[in-house]
Every structure is written in C-alpha cells, then in structure tokens.
Amino acid sequence: MPRTTTEANAKKSSIRAVVEHVFAHQKMRYGLCIRTIGLARAETKLTLANLAYNFDRLVLHERSSTIR
C-alpha cells in the first residue's frame, strides 16, 4: 500500500476511534438503544444521552483541573 494511502487511513482511523468511543460509552453507561416510533422521540433520546455524556465530561474535567 502506498505511503500516502497509509497516512490517510491512519488519520481517518484516529478520528473514527474518538467518535466510536463516545457512542460505546453512551451505549454501555446509559443503555442507549433507539427503538422508538417517530423521529422526534429518537432525536430526543439521543439529545438527552448526549447531554448526559457532556455533563459527565464536564465533571471529569472540573475534577481534574482542581487536582492540579
């Protein structure tokens, strides 16, 4: 495989890994499984899961900044 292709794959893979870690965390921690009737309910469920995840991250960062 050419070096340029290898470098492009590595860049895409690193981005994909970050995104997939977020979804895996939401699925494991919040039991995120979207089985709703209607797009509005699915969007609401995803929004609430994202909000909860962001609050968890905020608490993590706040705690780590007070320790330093």
Q: Measured between alpha carbons, how far is 50 from 30 in angstroms, rounded to an integer? A: 10
> Based on the structure, what is the number of domains in the chain?
1
What pLDDT is recorded for position 12? 92
What pLDDT is recorded for position 64? 86
Q: How many CB atoms lie within 10 A of CB 49?
A: 20
Q: Convert the pLDDT of each residue in 9-26 to its tens digit.
A: 999 999 999 888 888 888
What pLDDT is recorded for position 55? 93
Q: Measured between alpha carbons, how far is 26 from 56 in angstroms, rounded to an integer? A: 11
What pLDDT is recorded for position 68? 63
Structural domain for 26, as ranges: 3-67
Q: What is the pTM of this model?
A: 0.64
Q: Measured between alpha carbons, how far is 27 from 33 in angstroms, rounded to an integer? A: 7
Cα angle vertex 40, ends 35, 45, to 5°? 55
Stretches in the chain below the pLDDT threshold 70: 68
